[in-house]
Amino acid sequence: MSAAVQHVSVLLEEAVEALAVRADGVYVDGTFGRGGHSRALLARLGPGGRLIAFDRDPAAIAAGAALGDPRFTLVHEPFSALAGALDALGVARVDGVLLDLGVSSPQLDDAARGMSFRFDAPLDMRMDTSRGQTVAQWLADASVGQITEVLRDYGEERFAHAIAKAIAAARPGGAVATTGQLAALVEKTVRTREPGQHPATRSFQALRIFINQELEELSRVLPDAVDRLRPGGRLAVISFHSLEDRIVKRFMRDCAKPDALPARLPLRADQLPQPRLRLVGRAQRPGAAEVAANPRARSAVMRVAERTEAA
């Protein structure tokens, strides 16, 4: 593996500590990537421990095959398949779930993946290159309204409609088939942008999130993860985007509140419904040293919650 495609796991030690790993526990790494978090978890597990990791990227699956640890199982599926995969493996409950969201450095730095405007390559952006539609294929048929909605909702792009119209106008000439073409088109359309940010940043981010259904995948896995946690088990989620973090924050907050009851219901304190989660500490962010060593860590935030005894 070349230096260009190495991946540095963000909040590595903090995430492992947050899970309070038991030597004989069963854990899930929802995003194997290149195995940084998985290796750290395996180092904490004893002979009776078990780690089940998920990834939808065939390159990550190939990298995971080199681990060769009998305690380790790698599943080629998105983490939204967690419940079905655990059932297939005969695992009813786990002691911890870690989700490291977003895109990995190897995916960004591999020009062929088409996720970055730093390289001119086919406009792909799929995390799982073995299935599904590429961004170029979707843009070839999407309406101006559909493109506008994606850029606005997933990228918070102020100029979404203007960019969508420009994409539609360029399609007859086949001018939106590569990352370089799309970046140039957006740059020409967007006249103002935040200092230090390429005009196409938000559009690329929005299209990647959309084509991989990243927010929908996250919304599906969170309740399944809580359902599978044993009492005392922990859920740790590292996000890199405000939309992801908003979903995680609201989900954990809502699960940490007891169900509402009618006013003046005659119940003792021990009869009141208990919430399913207990929030653990405050949101954690990388320190200055980690950000200096790995600038891509700067937007990371980790939230942690613990499963209670509540059904």
Residue 123 near residue 200, CB atoms below 8 Å: no
pTM (two decimals): 0.89
Domains and CATH numbers, the chain: 12-100+214-307 (3.40.50.150), 114-212 (1.10.150.170)
Judge whether 284 is annotated as a binding position.
no
Query: What pLDDT tens digit does each residue of the chain (311 aa) get?
Result: 333 345 678 899 999 999 999 999 999 999 999 899 999 999 999 999 999 999 999 999 999 988 989 999 999 999 999 999 999 999 999 999 999 997 877 777 777 788 888 889 999 999 999 999 999 999 999 999 999 999 999 999 999 999 999 999 999 877 799 999 999 999 999 977 777 788 999 999 999 999 999 999 999 999 999 999 999 999 999 999 999 999 999 999 999 987 655 556 665 555 556 899 999 999 999 999 999 998 888 899 999 999 999 87
- Asked whether the CA dihedral 169, 212, 208, 225 is positive or negative, the reply is positive
Is 79 known to sit in a ligand binding site? yes
100 is in an annotated binding site: yes
User: What's the chain's Rg over C-alpha atoms?
Assistant: 21
Burial class (CB in 10 A: 0-12, 13-18, 19+), 121: middle
Residue 241 among known ligand-binding residues: no
Q: Is 120 annotated as a binding residue?
A: no
**pLDDT number for residue 146:** 98
pLDDT at position 106 is: 75
- The pLDDT assigned to 102 comes to 79
Residue 36 annotated as lining a ligand binding site? yes
Residue 37 annotated as part of some ligand binding site: yes
The answer to whether the CB of 232 falls within 8 A of the CB of 295 is no
